[in-house]
């Protein structure tokens, strides 16, 4: 069995490494020699899966960190990594933030981390390099090397040129001009639409494999958000304040919003994936319905009655053990964040597969007058703030922004946003994979990760290319294989 040794740079929570370890090819596999990462929580995650001796925690721009890499990775075969490039993203402040924020991001040192990536590649000279990044990199240009005024080149082309200058082939098989691929993770079995740039390069003078889709039109059906449908129900803690924006809309629709909430809990009580909490959900539904019948016709003290109702709900969720995870460690990460009652009603009222842009548009089939009135943000800017998923489609792109809020990731049935555990399954991480750190740190690691199923396909193509090199004539093999 031939084992190719891998160095994972900017390793994050380990998506790239996990996928490469899952890649399988006759008589050939991968071993992660070292994973390099700066974030402490991500390093703890990596240590838990790779072993503490395989993780280098530190800033890759520092000479001391590079020396650790060079010392421990002298015989490395593959370097993989996706340098974080903040202004390349198609979502977030780089595109939608203030002018000051955009200018700050332009000067962000993280946008040149790819240069350190190539410095390490040049020193170690592995046979294979895999570079991953966001699709937004395609629109990024920088000043050309000749320094001429207004002479700019695409960053992605500069990266390909840099690899070729170091002796790597970036050409893709059966193509005259292609040097990189834009892949949608959903096309490779990931239950999530996620478009990413992948560059595969090698020093074996071989054309690099073109990764053909395995799912989608003409192939296997897409994997969908049903990947999380089997999980036990989780209910959020709910808050309510008289200072909540559009609280008057909630009070003016007092009976309707209470009815929507009670009906949603009643629907959940009939689901089969309640696991050990099924009886608790049923009792919760009954108790809340009793309280609803007592207060639904009240004409005064509406906010007071709502507050009492929500307090009862919060107490019952704990008392009935609905969110208990039964000593199952991965389920530690399957817990909902807290939501305010206005957002809960928006979650419930939005149709699966729809969003706030549609429920606020009068000529849309999804228009909802109550939800339109409840919408608390500037309608002239971000209209798609709330996005509700559906069981019959892949998830939207899982983002690190989930650490801020989960409004674009509303569960198809339950009145909440996705948990970290659900996000990791939609990223195609194994069910027993454990992320360390607090909830927000977990969201960040998961949102920044390369989906393991996509990484597995990339890794498998490299194993195949390696075997192809072994099959060449002996003079070629002795010159280019280890």
Q: Is the distance from CB of 17 to CB of 11 less than 8 angstroms?
A: yes
Residues 177 and 115 in one domain: yes
Catalytic machinery residues: 85
The two beta strands, 339-340 and 238-239, are parallel
Residues 58 and 180 in one domain: yes
Q: Is the distance from CB of 215 to CB of 189 less than 8 angstroms?
A: yes
Q: Among 340, 364, 390, which residue terminates a domain?
A: 390
Q: Is the distance from CB of 168 to CB of 203 less than 8 angstroms?
A: yes
Question: And the tokens for 466?
Answer: 């390696």
Structure-token match 């943000």, residue found: 377
For residues 272, 278, 283, 284, the Cα torsion angle rounded to the nearest 10 degrees is -80
Residues 237 and 277 in one domain: yes
Total-model pTM: 0.90
Residues 144 and 211 in one domain: yes
Q: Among 361, 390, 419, which residue terminates a domain?
A: 390
Beta bridge partners of 141: 154
Q: Is the distance from CB of 10 to CB of 80 less than 8 angstroms?
A: no
301 within a domain of the structure (yes/no): yes
Q: pLDDT value at position 112?
A: 72
Burial of 482 (0-12, 13-18, 19+ CB in 10 A): exposed
Residue 64: partners with Cβ closer than 8 Å, 6 or more residues away = 58
Residues 106 and 186 in one domain: yes
Residues 166 and 241 in one domain: no
Number of domains in the chain: 2
Q: pLDDT value at position 340?
A: 98
11 within a domain of the structure (yes/no): yes
Burial of 198 (0-12, 13-18, 19+ CB in 10 A): buried
Residues 260 and 209 in one domain: no
431 within a domain of the structure (yes/no): no
Provide the CB-side half-sphere exposure for 354 (13 A, CA): 20
Alpha-carbon distance of 164 to 153, in angstroms, equals 16
Residues 61 and 210 in one domain: yes
CB atoms within 10 A of CB 457: 25
108 within a domain of the structure (yes/no): yes
Residues 185 and 47 in one domain: yes
Residues 355 and 458 in one domain: no
Q: pLDDT value at position 157?
A: 87
Alpha-carbon distance of 141 to 241, in angstroms, equals 47
Greatest CA separation for the chain = 90
Q: pLDDT value at position 103?
A: 43
442 within a domain of the structure (yes/no): no
Query: What is the domain extent for residue 40?
Result: 2-223+450-480
397 within a domain of the structure (yes/no): no
Can you list the residues of the chain whose pLDDT is less than 50?
87-99, 101-110, 145-150, 473-482
Angle between the 278-295 and 254-268 helix axes, to the nearest 10 degrees? 160
8 within a domain of the structure (yes/no): yes
Cα angle 447, 62, 93 (rounded to 5 degrees) comes to 35
Residue 247: partners with Cβ closer than 8 Å, 6 or more residues away = 241, 303, 342
Return the CATH number at 126: 3.40.50.150
Residues 190 and 314 in one domain: no
Burial of 224 (0-12, 13-18, 19+ CB in 10 A): buried
Q: What is the pLDDT of residues 58-86, one digit of tens each?
A: 999 999 999 999 999 999 999 999 888 65
434 within a domain of the structure (yes/no): no
Residues 39 and 132 in one domain: yes
Q: How far is CA 404 from the centre of its chain?
A: 13
Q: pLDDT value at position 324?
A: 86
Instruction: Give the end-to-end CA distance of the chain in Å, rounded to a whole number.
Output: 14
């Amino acid at each position: 069995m031939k084992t190719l040794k891998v160095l994972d740079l900017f390793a994050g929570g380990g998506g790239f490494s996990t996928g490469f370890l899952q890649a399988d090819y006759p008589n050939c596999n991968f071993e992660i020699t070292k994973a390099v990462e700066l974030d402490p929580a991500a390093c703890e995650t990596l240590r838990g899966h790779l072993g503490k001796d395989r993780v280098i925690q530190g800033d890759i721009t520092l000479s001391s960190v590079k020396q650790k890499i060079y010392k421990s990775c002298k015989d490395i075969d593959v370097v993989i990594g996706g340098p974080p490039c903040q202004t390349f993203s198609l979502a977030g402040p780089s595109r939608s933030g203030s002018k000051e924020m955009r200018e700050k991001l332009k000067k962000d040192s993280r946008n040149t981390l790819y240069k350190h990536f190539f410095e390490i590649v040049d020193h170690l000279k592995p046979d294979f390099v895999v570079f991953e990044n966001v699709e937004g990199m395609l629109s990024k240009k920088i000043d050309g090397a000749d320094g001429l005024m207004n002479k700019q080149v695409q960053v992605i082309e500069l990266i390909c040129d840099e690899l070729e200058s170091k002796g790597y082939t970036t050409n893709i098989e059966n193509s005259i001009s292609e040097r990189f691929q834009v892949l949608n993770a959903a096309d490779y079995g990931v239950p999530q639409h996620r478009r990413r740039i992948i560059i595969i390069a090698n020093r074996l003078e071989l054309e690099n494999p073109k990764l053909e889709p395995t799912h989608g039109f003409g192939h296997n059906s897409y994997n969908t958000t049903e990947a999380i449908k089997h999980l036990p129900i989780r209910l959020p803690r709910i808050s309510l304040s008289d200072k909540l924006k559009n609280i008057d809309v909630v009070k003016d629709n007092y009976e309707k919003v209470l009815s929507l909430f009670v009906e949603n809990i009643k629907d959940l009580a009939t689901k089969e994936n309640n696991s050990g909490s099924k009886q608790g959900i049923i009792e919760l539904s009954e108790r809340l319905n009793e309280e609803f019948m007592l207060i639904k016709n009240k004409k005064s003290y509406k906010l007071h009655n709502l507050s009492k109702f929500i307090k009862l709900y919060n107490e019952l969720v704990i008392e009935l053990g609905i969110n208990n995870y039964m000593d199952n460690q991965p389920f530690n990460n399957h817990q909902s964040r807290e939501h305010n009652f206005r957002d809960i009603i928006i979650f419930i009222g939005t149709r699966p597969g729809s969003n706030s842009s549609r429920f606020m548009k009068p000529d849309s089939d999804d228009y909802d007058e109550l939800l339109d009135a409840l919408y608390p943000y500037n309608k002239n800017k971000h209209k798609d703030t709330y996005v509700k998923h559906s069981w019959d489609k892949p998830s939207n792109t899982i983002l690190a922004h989930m650490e801020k809020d989960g409004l674009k990731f509303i569960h198809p049935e339950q009145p909440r946003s996705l948990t970290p555990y659900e996000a990791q399954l939609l990223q195609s991480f194994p069910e027993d994979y454990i992320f360390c750190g607090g909830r927000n740190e977990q969201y960040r690691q998961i949102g920044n990760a390369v989906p393991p199923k996509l990484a597995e396909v990339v890794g498998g193509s490299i194993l195949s290319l390696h075997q192809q090199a072994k099959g060449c004539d002996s003079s070629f093999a002795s010159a280019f294989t280890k």
